[in-house]
A and B are shown apart, each in its own frame.
Chain A
């Protein structure tokens, strides 16, 4: 809130309505000196705002907003402006009905509308030079990684193991010995499953050790040998052989005695 702006607004409106300072002060209900103080830049008290607005026939909002006091005129324009001002004080002001109706926000909106706007397109669809540069680098890295992987994969394929031996069979085969009966087990199954490679012409001899019921614990147990001949297995495929014991017994481990076969 600017006291000078408010003061100028009060003075302007008072002259516009044809009031003297005394008349204006009397209408508002204050002394002439207080009215002069307001015109000279003192901000009116809150209780006086509504009476002033009523007398000046304006909104309190407009009163508080005030109006711009004129800048001191340049020497060459001084006489001309003084004349104009005198004329304006004497002659009744022509009121612009449109201007009076407009609120502060409407005026603000009009100002925003008048701001310069960008109408030219700031870009266009398509790949930019930076896109292409980044893309080519990315694609080069991608192809390089693919090549490395390709070489590594083919290198591993060409140098792969091709025969099963007693030393390497664990990598390619899973052997399990399971009883087919949970109570009084006397029948066992030996299952051989190919893990991750195709195996052909598998010949294998597996010795399974059992401790038979009634034999002493410090003995060596009984060894049953199972033989697989010319078995062909794909990944995940299983072949099995069954062992029948004469009496109930417990499996104590197995050993691959002999193995041969081709790896795909």
Chain B
């Protein structure tokens, strides 16, 4: 199985999990969380998927104002990881919104 197909299946699972979270919110009548959860999960997935492009874009804009490095604008593993961490944090927040009404947190 090639990476593209694996990515598609994984994306499907991510969307399914988010869908389950929204169903949970509907059952709990916590409608306010639905748009928040959707926005966070969409942003999270996009950031995780395009972490490399975002990190490269950041390098380009940084080079516009500051001195360029000799790396040809290629992002380091760390800068890509930072975007991945942000993306996952957003996605996890979206999933947690499914539990908030169950535990009467607010």
Contact = CB atoms under 8 A, between A and B. Distances in A.
Contacts of B4: 126
Given A118-B71, A125-B50, A131-B48, A143 B76 contact: no
A29 interface: no
A112 B17 CA distance: 50
Interface residues of A, number: 28
B10 A127 contact: yes
A134 B44 CA distance: 14
Interface in A211-264: none
Contact of A123 (B71, B75, B102): B75
B97 to A, nearest CB: 12
A233 B29 CA distance: 20
Interface in A103-158: 112, 115-128, 131-132, 134-136, 138-139, 142-143, 145-146, 149, 153
Contact of A139 (B14, B50, B76): B14
Contacts of A143: 17, 20
Contacts of B102: 149, 153
Contacts, number: 72
Contacts of B20: 142-143, 146
Interface size class of B (residues with CB under 8 A): 20 to 34
A118 B71 CA distance: 5
Interface in A174-222: none
Contacts of B76: 122
Contacts of A119: 72
B38 interface: no
A139 B98 CA distance: 13
Contact of A125 (B14, B49, B72, B92): B49
A123 B24 contact: no
A84 B52 CA distance: 56
B66 interface: no
A122 B71 CA distance: 10
B95 interface: yes
A122 B10 CA distance: 23
Given A127-B11, A128-B84, A135-B13, 4 more contacts: A117-B71, A121-B74, A142-B21, A149-B102
Interface of A: 112, 115-128, 131-132, 134-136, 138-139, 142-143, 145-146, 149, 153
Question: Nearest 9 pairs between A and B by C-beta?
Answer: A123-B52, A122-B74, A139-B17, A117-B72, A118-B72, A132-B10, A127-B7, A115-B70, A125-B52
